[in-house]
């Protein structure tokens, strides 16, 4: 993850503040919890006596909590000190993992996932705002790449480790492990993330002013593209383990290794996206989403070949996570006057997709169409995300990417910002 802060060219760039890496470490714990169920579906379903699609709904439960929690908690904590908010949310998240480890039934586990997700969503929204606030505007994608790098490393190490724990020590042990990771992240936030105070006077955060971002169509296009892209990836990723065993014919013991390879691809994609997205925003989005579409379509055709399924899983990790820093930076650029709600909106958009994707995948499986059809569904969703990106690019034209201030601020503030803010193209 440290490599994400290195300069892509010989031209010197300021290094990332250590607090950004601490946030990335915390995201590692959050991401491990969010994604580890993809490697635990089968033992969890057997233990709780539910079907694979029902177990898959636990992924959607987490995503629903993220969708609801991000904007609600962002608004509720708008005037609170950000570090205090991060500490409280990370503590609640850790307790949610303990509740999941002790859950006596599917219903209790479902509820614990929603509660954990609410805390996770709030942490993501506030943490993203903190990360972006600590760096200059032309380093936003790199800062977000560090945070997203926590997700990538979660896929490389956390998710496969969770799958191994699930196979050898029971799925509950994975929840205990994430609770321990949360405690480590909590110590890091307390020690290394700078304390902040709510703004006063003209700088006082105002919910009404931040809500003005939702008047802009580019914000909504960014939301739709982000949600569709996430739905495409998680439609397939949520059922990758049974696809590998039932369609590709791999033994269940192979699943952790393939999930780790997906994570390696995700880390590569995050590093690439973080390096190029600030300079080539729409190009990065086109390339990443287009590659995801192609990879899932090819996987749908070749899922019965084990080597092809493994290789394409790695390529999907690269393509999907190359896009992620650009999608995050795009939202902060079109909603520059509302950094907290911009982070919350991006989190909600990603997790709207994370809810929709597994649900659609479960419908396809329940209809008896097989796991290859899940890959086709993912490819179709990615194609829609690509089309939405094309519409946003066409409407974007040559105007500034930072548009929210003009919708929310008085006329004299608009003139001052326009004089200071360079026009940037995507």
Per-residue model confidence (pLDDT) at position 296? 92
**What span, in angstroms and rounded, lies between the C-alpha atoms of 331 and 49?**
41
Per-residue pLDDT tens digits of the chain, which is 426 residues long: 333 333 344 344 557 778 888 888 888 888 888 778 777 877 888 888 888 778 877 877 787 787 777 777 777 777 778 788 889 999 999 999 999 898 888 888 888 888 888 888 888 878 877 887 777 766 767 777 777 777 767 767 777 788 788 777 888 888 898 899 899 889 988 888 887 655 544 455 566 776 777 777 888 888 899 999 989 988 888 888 888 888 888 887 788 788 778 878 888 888 888 777 767 778 888 888 999 999 999 999 998 898 998 899 889 989 888 888 788 777 777 766 566 677 778 778 887 887 788 888 888 888 888 888 899 999 999 999 999 988 888 876 644 343 334 333 443 333 333 333 333 333
CA distance 241 to 254: 9
Q: What are phi and psi of 200, to 5 degrees?
A: -125, 160
The percent of the chain in helix, strand and coil, each rounded to the nearest 5, is 80, 0, 20
From 298, 26, 41, select the one nearest 163 (Cα to Cα). 41
> Is the CB of residue 61 less than 8 Å from the CB of residue 374?
no
Residue 158 parent element (H or E): none
Q: Tell me the Cα Rg of the chain.
A: 20
Contact (CB, 8 A) for 241 and 255: yes
Instruction: Calculate the alpha carbon distances from 329 to 78, 131, 221, 344, 407 in Å.
Output: 21, 12, 14, 13, 19
Residue among 96, 164, 324 nearest 232 (CA): 324
Residue 91 is predicted with a pLDDT of 92
Q: What is the pTM of this model?
A: 0.66
Closest CA to 364 of 47, 56, 113, 35: 56
Is there a contact between 24 and 150 (Cβ–Cβ < 8 Å)?
yes
Per-residue pLDDT, 401: 42
Contact 237, 309 (CB under 8 A): no
Structural domains in the chain plus CATH codes: 16-197+206-420 (1.20.1250.20)
- Return d(Cα 256, Cα 96) in angstroms, integer: 24
pLDDT of 382? 93
CA–CA dist 8, 278 (Å, integer):
11
Kind and range of the H or E run holding 410: none
Cα separation of 308 and 248, whole Å? 9
- Sequence-distant (6+) residues with CB within 8 A of 146 are 1, 4, 5, 16, 20, 21, 23, 24, 131, 274
Alpha carbon distance 351, 46 (integer Å): 27
Cβ atoms of 286 and 365 within 8 Å: the answer is no
Give the C-alpha separation, 67 to 346, whole Å.
9
DSSP state of 10: S
């Amino acid at each position: 993850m440290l490599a994400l802060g290195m300069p892509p060219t010989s031209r010197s760039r300021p290094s990332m503040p250590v607090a950004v890496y601490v946030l990335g470490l915390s995201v590692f714990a959050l991401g491990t919890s969010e994604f580890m169920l993809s490697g635990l579906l089968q033992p969890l379903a057997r233990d709780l006596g539910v079907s694979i699609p029902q177990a898959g709904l636990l992924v959607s439960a987490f995503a629903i909590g993220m969708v609801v929690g991000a904007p609600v908690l962002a608004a509720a904590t708008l005037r609170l000190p950000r570090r205090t908010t991060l500490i409280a949310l990370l503590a609640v998240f850790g307790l949610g993992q303990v509740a999941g480890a002790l859950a006596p039934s599917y219903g209790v586990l479902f509820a614990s996932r929603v509660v954990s997700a609410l805390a996770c969503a709030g942490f993501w929204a506030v943490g993203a705002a903190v990360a972006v606030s600590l760096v200059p505007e032309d380093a936003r994608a790199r800062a977000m790449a560090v945070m997203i790098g926590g997700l990538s490393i979660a896929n490389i190490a956390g998710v496969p480790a969770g799958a191994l724990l699930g196979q050898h020590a029971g799925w509950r042990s994975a929840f205990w492990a994430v609770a321990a990771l949360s405690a480590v992240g909590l110590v890091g936030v307390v020690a290394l993330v700078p304390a902040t105070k709510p703004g006063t006077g003209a700088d006082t955060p105002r919910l009404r002013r931040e809500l003005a971002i939702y008047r802009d169509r580019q914000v909504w296009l960014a939301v739709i593209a982000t949600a569709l892209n996430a739905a495409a990836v998680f439609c397939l990723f949520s059922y990758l383990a049974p696809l590998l065993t039932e369609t590709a014919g791999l033994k269940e013991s192979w699943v952790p290794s393939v999930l780790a390879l997906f994570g390696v691809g995700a880390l590569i994609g995050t590093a690439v996206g973080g390096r190029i997205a600030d300079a080539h925003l729409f190009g990065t989005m086109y390339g990443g989403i287009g590659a995801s579409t192609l990879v899932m379509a090819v996987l749908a055709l070749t899922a019965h070949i084990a080597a092809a399924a493994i290789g394409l899983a790695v390529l999907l990790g690269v393509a999907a996570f190359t896009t992620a820093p650009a999608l995050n930076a795009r939202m902060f650029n079109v909603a520059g006057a509302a950094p907290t709600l911009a982070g919350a909106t991006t989190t909600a958009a990603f997790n709207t997709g994370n809810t929709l994707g597994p649900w659609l995948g479960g419908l396809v499986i329940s209809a008896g169409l097989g796991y290859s059809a899940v890959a086709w569904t993912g490819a179709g969703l990615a194609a829609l995300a690509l089309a939405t990106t094309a519409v946003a690019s066409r409407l974007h034209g040559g105007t500034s990417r930072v548009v929210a201030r003009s919708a929310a601020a008085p006329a004299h503030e608009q003139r001052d910002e326009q004089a200071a803010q360079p026009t940037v193209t995507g």
